[in-house]
Amino acid sequence: MSKFYLTTAIDYSNGEPHIGHAYEKIGADAIARYRRLRGDAVHFLIGMDEHGQKVAQAAEQRGLTPQQQVNEIAERFQTMWRTLGISNDEFMRTTEERHKTGVRALIKRIFDNNPDDFYERSYSGWYCVGCESFKQDSEIEAGHCVLHPTLKLEWVEERNWFFRLSKYESFLKRLLSERPEFLQPDSRRNEMLALLDFGLEDISASRSRFTWGVPFPAPLSTGETQTTYVWFEALPNYLTATGFPAKGFKDRWPAQLHVVGKDINRFHSIIWPAMLQAAELPLPERVWVHGFVLLGGERFSKSAGVKLDLNEAIARFGPDAFRYYLLREVPFDTDGNFSWERFEQVYVSELANSWGNLVSRAVAMVEKYCDAVVPAAMRTEVDRADAVELDAYHSAMDGSRGFLLHEGLRRAMASVTRGNEYVQTMQPWVLAKSPDTRTALETTLGTLVRSLARQAVMLFPFVPTKAQDLWRQLGALGRIEDQRFDSLMQLDATGWRVRKGDPMFPKPVTAS
Ligand code: MSP
Convert the pLDDT of each residue in 143-171 to its tens digit: 999 989 888 999 989 999 999 999 999 99
* C-alpha–C-alpha distance, residues 415 and 355, integer Å: 10
Of 118, 114, 131, which Cα lies nearest the Cα of 14?
131
- Ligand 1 atom 18: residue of nearest CA: 261
* CA 171 to ligand 1 centroid distance, Å: 27
Nearest atom (ligand 1) to Cα of 49: 1
Rounded to two decimals, what is the model's pTM? 0.96
Convert the pLDDT of each residue in 440-494 to its tens digit: 999 999 999 999 999 999 999 999 999 999 999 999 999 999 999 999 999 999 9
* CA 310 to ligand 1 centroid distance, Å: 15
Buried b (16+ CB within 10 A) or exposed e, 375-411: bebeebebbebbeebbeebbebbbbeebbbbbbbbbb
Convert the pLDDT of each residue in 362-409 to its tens digit: 999 999 999 999 999 999 999 999 999 999 999 999 999 999 999 999
Mean pLDDT of 43-58: 96
* CA 261 to ligand 1 centroid distance, Å: 6
Tell me how many degrees the CA angle 349-352-358 measures, rounded to the nearest 5. 100
SS3 349: helix
SS3 helix, strand, coil % of the chain, rounded to 5? 50, 15, 30
* CA 237 to ligand 1 centroid distance, Å: 15
List pocket residues of ligand 1, CB cut-off 6 Å: 9-12, 20-21, 23-24, 49, 234-235, 237, 260-261, 263-264, 292-293
Residue 511 has pLDDT above 80, yes or no: no
Convert the pLDDT of each residue in 84-134 to its tens digit: 999 999 999 999 999 999 999 999 999 999 999 999 999 999 999 889 889
Q: CB–CB of 376/446 below 8 Å?
A: yes
Can the peptide bond before residue 180 be classed as cis, meaning omega within 30 degrees of 0? no
Convert the pLDDT of each residue in 321-338 to its tens digit: 999 999 999 999 999 999
Of 360, 363, 375, 368, which Cα lies nearest the Cα of 444?
375
CATH 1.10.730.10 given to domain 340-490: yes
- Ligand 1 atom 12: residue of nearest CA: 11
Can the peptide bond before residue 245 be classed as cis, meaning omega within 30 degrees of 0? yes
